[in-house]
Amino acid sequence: MKTKLFTIAMLLAMATPAALADEGMWIPVLIEKYNIKLMQENGFKLTAEDIYSINRASMKDAVVLFGGGCTGEFISDKGLIITNHHCGYGYIQNHSTLEHDYLRNGFWAASNAEELANPGLSVTILKYMEDVTDKVLKGVTDDMDKEKRDEIINANITAINAEAVKGTHYRSAVRPFFLGNQYFLIVNESFRDVRLVGAPPSAIGKFGGDTDNWVWPRHTGDFSLFRVYADKENKPAAYSAENVPYHPAYHFPVSIAGVKEGDFTMVFGYPGRTQEYAPSYHISMLKDVIYPKMVDMRGKKISIMEQAMAKDPLVRLKYSGKSFGLANGWKKSIGEIQSLNRMNGVARKQAFEKEFMKWVAADPERVRKYGKILDEYADIYSTYTHNYLVNSYTNEVFGSAGVEPASLAGAFRRAVEMASQKDPGLDKELKRLQEYADGYFRNYDRNVSEQLFVAVMDLYGKNIDREWQTDVYKALAESCRGDFGMVAGKLFDKSIFTDENRVKALISKFDPKKVQKDIFYRMAVSASDLTASRLRGELSAADARLAELNKLYMAAQMEQGGDKVFYPDANSTLRLAYGKVMGYDSRDAVYHEHQTTLTGVMEKDNPEIYDYDVPDRLKELYEKKDFGRYGYDGDMPVCFIANNHTTGGNSGSPVLNAEGHLIGVNFDRAWEGVASDMMYNPQQSRNISIDIRYALFLIEKLGNAGYLIDEMTIVGVPQHTP
């Protein structure tokens, strides 16, 4: 009996949504109210005003949303930004050719004139944020129906945004927090002229590849450098040769003092999405249904791409970005399944829900407000799980890394409709399609594409019930008796969308009838129509119901928590996490220390494997122990771990010490705790960062770009040899 009671108590402790000292993604404007005292007790030596201020320059002014899904930070007063190599990967790839393979060989601009423009890339800086909950909910009453409520809220948000940016070049958005129980106004400034400055070879920046991804110990130099440009008044401007380096309000001093076990750390960045307060039904759906199917599908795709890339350098250039994107999600899903199983994640959520219902039952008013929450979740997820799977799987099959020609062909649907209506905007649409096709074929190989087609079509037939398969798929499967390898070559020979010249000819003399007859266009339309007619409505209705239910459940959890301080789920807004440098127990009798070194890189060196082929120059520097002021104890620190709570979007985030100095750049999480998006595990949730000393060493010694270090504010005394 004692054992059983102890187990239940432990489950409840892990399930409780109240934040621990090292758990949480905190809103910077509320640091003074909720966090600063605990941060200072744990070693932080500055103030909340140093982190976030609208009256003077502060750390928030040095942190940027990089592109659409990463973080970067200013490290000089000349607009120099450091982020991850994998965040800059697509831009490095776009500049790479067989003659100038910056992915393989790296890239270092010797001057501002050699920095490379990146059309479409922007960085965004938070100007300020403000709690506008009362303004958003003005005029809303409890007895109001949802349609009227949404109408008032949307009108209020429109007015708030208009007032916030009036007379400025800023952009604003009102974002829900705590699943719609609170609203913040976010006012940003965006810069569109962002140029590539430097990146190490992929053998350093992506060292270990997919094998080491989501794993500790790690030996990756995962960083790249960009520069933000502005007009002569330091304002955002489109790319122009007349633009000058941007002068940020604040940039991080860069510390060469190093890290040690127990040091205070904080991560300041733009985490994407977490689901910390989701019910057990949601976690079970992902862990037991969605993830296993997607892992199987993506594993097949990755295998095809990697085998082809190993044989042909040009194919590697074309498919490295796709492969990396797939592999990142594929391996994360595997880790989440294993981590949730190890923590008994679903059981822990169920244990919390059991106690939650006891709390509800103790008060008639709570029964009225919250008594049906879990029953409603059960009802929704009974059908939502299936629909979610079919929708996700269909998109995965007919998307850009599945039946590739179908993803291209589907982009022509609007042009077909415009042609039938004799829309005068058709020429503009065709010009857009030509630009899209140029990018598509830059990353396309017919042989690889055929293999992907055969693999995903086979899996689609095996894993999706016939009732939910597309009409075009079923007809094709019947005609070839399920042997897609038998017909792949013929289909690719005939299709417009498998050949760049045929696509160019189509665009120059557009014939919608030819498009409509193409097998891959019909596949794309059939998939789109199936999801639109049979899934989209059901999913949208369920999502709307879940949004309302999630909001209510969040409010109930906070009410139950009493004085406990909650942090909101990540929603791609600026957040702060803090903790300490520390190792962890990986599994029975295996303890991982907090730091890796260049010795570990050399131990993994294998010229036969692309991801482990250490560049000769790095070997030379290691053999000579030519580490400059960045080495320690006869070696070169490479990466370190801490227990900061991070997720996707934190890639590239600054990792700061107690003085607010940059000591690392966050890039990953440890495998055992990767389920922290849904359930933080204090024993094993660790964020992985490149030690900033390794980045500085590579810039100076490998890239011969010491002028970039001269731009930085270098602080701290190098670690001495004990």
Active site residues: 86, 222, 651
**Token pair of 203, please?**
């053998």
Backbone CA torsion sign across 232, 238, 242, 244? positive
**What phi, psi does 53 have (nearest 5°)?**
-150, 145
Type of residue numbered 17: P
SS3 273: strand
d(CA 164, CA 185): 8
**In 113-208, alpha helices (H):** 133-136, 146-165, 202-205
3-state secondary structure of 260: coil
In this structure, the number of other CB atoms found within 10 A of the CB of residue 563 comes to 5
Reported as type and span, the H/E element at residue 229 is strand 224-230
- Cα–chain-centroid distance for residue 201? 22
SS3 track for 57-93: CCHHHHEEEECCCEEEEECCCCCEEEECHHHHHHHHH
* 294 Cβ contact list (under 8 Å, min separation 6): 329, 330, 333, 392, 393, 396
Residue 711, helix vs strand vs coil = helix
Contacts of residue 439, defined as CB under 8 A and 6 or more positions apart, other chains included, come to none
Separation between Cα atoms, residue 621 and residue 201, nearest integer Å:
15
Cβ within 8 Å of residue 615, ≥6 positions away:
201, 203, 204, 702
249-281 b/e with 16+ CB inside 10 Å = b? ebbbbbbbbbbeeebbbbbbbbbbebbbbbbbb
**The total number of residues written for the chain in this structure:** 722
The DSSP element (H or E) to which 655 belongs, if any, is strand 654-656
Report CA-CA distances (Å) from 297 to 326, 357, 525, 668.
10, 39, 22, 23
633: helix, strand or coil: coil
Are 226 and 708 within 8 A, CB to CB?
A: no
C-alpha 75/C-alpha 252 separation (Å) is 5
Q: Where are the alpha helices (DSSP H) in 312-372?
A: 313-342, 345-361, 364-370
The C-alpha angle 486, 492, 498, rounded to 5 degrees, equals 155
Q: Which structure tokens are listed for 614?
A: 């250490």
Cα separation, 422 vs 270, in Å, equals 44
- Residues 6 or more apart from 284 whose CB is under 8 A from it? 346, 381
Q: Residue 392 is encoded by which pair of tokens?
A: 């996700």
| C-alpha to C-alpha distance for 243 and 380, rounded to whole angstroms | 54
Give the strand pairing for 264-269 and 662-669. Answer: unpaired
Q: H helices within 531-673, ranges in order?
A: 537-561, 598-604, 616-624
Residues with Cβ within 8 Å of 121's Cβ and at least 6 positions away in sequence, in order, are: 67, 91, 192, 194, 226
Tokens of 278: 């989701």
In 3-state terms, what secondary structure has residue 543? Answer: helix
